[in-house]
C-alpha cells in the first residue's frame, strides 16, 4: 500500500433486528401509547415509557415488565415465563417473556403491552388493603434492633 493512503475499512455488518421488534412496534401503534422511546442494548432493543424501561426485545424473546401478580398469573396461564436473557443463570424476575402461543395472539400481546406500559407509567391502581401506616410499620419492624 502506498504511503499516506488510508486502508479501506470493511463494511460494517449490521445485526438483523430482534425477531419480535416489529410485533412490539405494531402493538404500541395499535394502542397509541405516548412517550415511548427505544435504544439498542445488549444486542437487542430496550423500550422506555416516561424514561422507564418496560420491554426488552432480544433475539427470539419479547419480554415485558409487569407487576408481580400479573407475572405469576401469566406464568400459570402458560402465556410466558420469567425472562432469562441469554439462557444463563441471570434472571430478570420482573420481566415476563411471552410464550410462542401468546406471541401468536394479537389480543394477548396488546393486553400485556398495555399492562406493562401502565405499570411502568404509574397508571396501575395501587394494591388495595395497604395504606401508608401499614408500610411505615413494616419498615420500622425491619430496622428494630433485636435484643
Alpha-carbon span 65 to 48, nearest angstrom? 11
How many angstroms separate the Cα of 123 from the Cα of each of 36, 112, 114?
Answer: 15, 14, 10
Reading phi first (left if > 0) and then psi (alpha if -120 to 50, else beta), residue 80 is in: left
Q: Considering its fold, how many domains does the chain have in total?
A: 1
Grid coordinates in use for 26? Answer: 405494531
Alpha-carbon span 55 to 62, nearest angstrom? 7
Q: How many alpha carbons fall within 13 Å on the CB side of residue 92?
A: 20
Inside any domain, residue 145: no
CATH number of domain containing 113:
3.30.1460.30
Alpha-carbon span 141 to 143, nearest angstrom? 6
3-class secondary structure, 133: helix
Instruction: Please indicate whether residue 111 or residue 131 has the higher confidence score (pLDDT).
Output: 111
In this prediction, residues 66-81 reach a mean pLDDT of 94
Inside any domain, residue 16: no
Inside any domain, residue 5: no
Inside any domain, residue 138: no
Contacts of 95 (CB under 8 A, 6+ apart): 56, 63, 64, 65, 66, 82, 83
Q: pTM for the full model? A: 0.72
Q: Domain containing 98: what range?
A: 21-126
The pLDDT value recorded for residue 142 is 44
The pLDDT value recorded for residue 99 is 95
pLDDT in tens, 122-142: 776 544 444 445 444 554 554
Q: Residue 24's closest CA among 114, 118, 116, 113?
A: 113
pLDDT in tens, 8-64: 666 556 655 667 888 999 999 999 998 899 999 888 899 999 899 999 999 889 999
Inside any domain, residue 93: yes
Inside any domain, residue 133: no
Q: How far is CA 66 from the centre of its chain?
A: 8
3-class secondary structure, 2: coil
Inside any domain, residue 146: no
Inside any domain, residue 53: yes
Alpha-carbon span 87 to 78, nearest angstrom? 19
Amino acid at each position: 500500500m502506498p504511503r499516506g493512503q488510508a486502508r479501506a475499512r470493511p463494511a460494517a455488518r449490521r445485526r438483523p433486528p430482534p425477531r419480535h421488534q416489529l410485533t412490539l412496534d405494531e402493538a404500541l401503534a395499535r394502542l397509541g401509547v405516548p412517550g415511548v422511546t427505544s435504544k439498542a442494548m445488549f444486542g437487542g432493543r430496550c423500550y422506555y415509557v416516561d424514561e422507564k424501561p418496560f420491554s426488552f426485545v432480544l433475539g427470539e424473546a419479547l419480554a415485558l415488565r409487569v407487576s408481580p401478580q400479573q407475572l405469576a398469573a401469566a406464568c400459570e396461564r402458560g402465556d410466558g415465563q420469567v425472562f432469562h436473557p441469554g439462557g444463563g443463570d441471570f434472571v430478570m424476575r420482573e420481566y415476563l417473556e411471552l410464550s410462542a402461543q401468546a406471541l401468536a395472539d394479537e389480543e394477548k400481546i396488546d393486553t400485556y403491552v398495555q399492562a406493562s406500559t401502565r405499570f411502568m407509567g404509574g397508571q396501575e391502581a395501587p394494591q388495595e388493603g395497604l395504606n401508608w401506616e401499614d408500610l411505615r410499620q413494616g419498615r420500622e419492624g425491619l430496622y428494630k434492633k433485636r435484643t
